[in-house]
Amino acid sequence: MGAEHDLYDRTAARTSRVVLASYSTSFGLGARLLDRATRDGIDAVYGLVRIADEVVDTRRGDGAAEVLDELETETARALERGWSTNLVVHSFARTARRCGIGHHEIDPFFASMRTDLTVHVHDRESYERYVYGSAEVVGLMCLAVFLNAHRGPRDPLTAPDETLVHGARALGAAFQKINFLRDLRTDYADLGRRYLPGVVPDRLRRRDVEAFCAEVEADLAAARASLPGLPVRARVAVAATLAVYDRLLARLCATPPEEILRVRVRVADPVKLALAARAASTQLLGQVAMPRGRSVATRNRAVV
């Protein structure tokens, strides 16, 4: 039975990896810089998050709430027994049990996903609650993987310090918020959602963009400040992903509001590779990744 069990585990891990590779080039780029065990864990976290997102963004409509409830219930059961017939849930449950991920992270995540089915316009309070559940706890899950992916069954969990926790939450929030601005048009026109408090998407103003970019820059700065506390391979991977999102934010900040509503701003794949390689090399050489005292938009203005 041992060989068959290992085969099922490996098949589940490969399934989660396919999900990540299929849906995200930016996040996947950083993941490829991780060692095998840590990458398997990150793939597993992303796989579950993506499935839930598909339920509320693609499936949606009648029955979506029931499907999401079923996914949450199966995830909770798999956490208890360490096994699931859903390959992505199985992969996630194995990772969660090894790395110390539990209901403290999972429950807020599913609560935010459920919000997407019922809340269409967010105020500041609901926006912050949504970002915490949909993104900050995902950052905390990834941090748990970075610190505990190699933990043996009898080894104690490695608990993060406050700086790492703050950085992980800020990293998740920054990535989510950048996606909000990039996908403003489709979220509003196709899904009928207004995530940004006080912002009417079809009347987006320059000052709205500037205020939002300043908010995200603060999150990115907090995430960057926590990098030295991560294991080396995780630090390299996160720095590479940060560099790509940093450039995407710079492009968004420099794009006229009417263009944000017309086209999907993106970073070309060759540029992503170059940014990731430069950031990874910088971390490996122990150098400072970016000069201090200048905003992300200013740093990258010349290359937008």
Note down pLDDT in tens along the chain; length 304 residues: 455 569 999 999 999 999 999 998 888 888 999 999 999 999 999 999 999 999 999 888 789 999 999 999 999 999 999 999 999 999 999 999 999 999 999 999 999 999 999 999 999 999 999 999 999 999 999 999 999 999 998 899 999 999 999 999 999 999 999 999 999 999 999 999 999 999 999 899 999 999 999 999 999 999 999 999 999 999 999 999 999 999 999 999 999 999 999 999 999 999 999 999 999 999 988 744 444 444 444 444 333 3
Q: Which residues are 121's β-sheet partners?
A: 194
Distances (CA, A) of 37 to 10, 69, 227: 11, 30, 20
* pLDDT for residue 25: 81
* pLDDT for residue 153: 86
* pLDDT for residue 66: 96
From 159, 142, 49, select the one nearest 95 (Cα to Cα).
Answer: 142
Q: Which residues are 194's β-sheet partners?
A: 121
* pLDDT for residue 294: 43
* pLDDT for residue 129: 98
Neighbours of 97 (CB within 10 A): 16
* pLDDT for residue 24: 84
Q: What is the pTM of this model?
A: 0.90
Q: Note whether 224 and 289 are within 8 A (CB).
A: yes
* pLDDT for residue 167: 97
Structure-block tokens of residue 244: 């790509």
Q: Taking the CA atoms of the chain, what radius of gyration do you get in angstroms?
A: 19
* pLDDT for residue 2: 53
